[in-house]
Amino acid sequence: MATIYCTATSLDGFIADDDESLSWLFATVGHDQDPQGRYGDDASLDFDQFLPTVGAVVCGANTYAWVHRELTHDGSDFTWPYEQPSWVVTHRDLDLPEGVQSFTGDITDLHAAATEAAAGKDVWIVGGGDLAGQFADAGLLDRVWIHQTPVTLGAGAPLLPRRLRLERVRLARDGQFTAMLFDVVGPEPRRVGDVDGAAEVYAQQ
């Protein structure tokens, strides 16, 4: 099993725009909307293959709120879309449906609970990026799986606001999406003095 941050992102690294909208994402053609394979699909990293491997789901309050808005905007009653044991990391007092728990505390405790509930399957960090970053800070994020969308947003919620070194494992085309699976190597260090050193060399020329 692994702890995986799986999400879609714009080309310039945002998972939602500055209006908290994903309209840009849903306007992008995936392989299921491209039966002729015009975009050279191989679908080996299709999201539909990922979900059955998930044993527990974790998200932040903003992600939960977005899901709630999307599923109730037409007046429908809210039903959590995932059958797996789920947690929302929040300090808010939320009215959560059955099967979804709120969590406030040490992320390592949440990871232990989600891993136990997953029973050998993967733990999915749905979002947001800072929550995935908290798992990474604790050394508990194993993989990053993104579906990159050919659109730039200029501003919004960042994909993963951390300095991390990743290693690409697989690359696939899914309609107009570029699907990429990475292993997390670890923090990317800052090399103090590199910029100053370069300036000194330039000044001596």
In a domain? residue 144:
yes
In a domain? residue 205:
no
In a domain? residue 93:
yes
Neighbour count for residue 4 (Cβ, 10 Å): 23
Residue-range definition of the domain harbouring residue 23:
3-189
In a domain? residue 197:
no
Q: Rounded to whole angstroms, how far apart are CA atoms 184 and 143? A: 5
Task: Give residue 199's pLDDT.
Answer: 47
Neighbour count for residue 202 (Cβ, 10 Å): 8
| Residue 172 structure tokens | 């696939």
Alpha-carbon separation of residue 143 from 101, 122, 149, 183, 202 (angstroms) = 24, 10, 19, 5, 40
Scanning the structure block, which residue is given the tokens 């879609």?
8
Structural domain tally of the chain? 1
Alpha-carbon separation of residue 105 from 77, 78, 204 (angstroms) = 30, 26, 53
Amino acid at site 138: A
Note the residue count of the chain: 205
Q: Rounded to whole angstroms, how far apart are CA atoms 160 and 174? A: 22
- 3-state SS class at 121: coil
Residue 62 parent element (H or E): helix 61-72
In a domain? residue 112:
yes
Q: Give the CATH number, domain containing residue 113.
A: 3.40.430.10
Q: Which residues pair with 58 in a beta bridge?
A: 87, 125
In a domain? residue 177:
yes
Task: Give residue 47's pLDDT.
Answer: 79
Task: Please list the pLDDT of the chain residue by residue as tens digits (205 residues).
Answer: 999 999 999 999 999 999 989 999 988 866 555 545 555 556 667 778 889 999 999 999 999 999 999 889 889 999 999 999 999 999 988 889 988 999 999 999 999 999 999 999 999 999 999 999 999 999 999 999 999 999 999 999 999 999 999 999 999 988 888 999 999 999 999 887 665 554 454 445 4
In a domain? residue 12:
yes
Task: Give residue 58's pLDDT.
Answer: 98
- 3-state SS class at 120: coil
Amino acid at site 172: A
This prediction's pTM: 0.87
In a domain? residue 199:
no
| Residue 107 structure tokens | 């992320």
Go through 133-156 and write b for each residue having 16 or more CB atoms within 10 A of its CB, e for each that does not.
bbbbeeebbbbbbbbbbebebeeb
Backbone angles phi, psi at 111, to 5 degrees: -60, -40
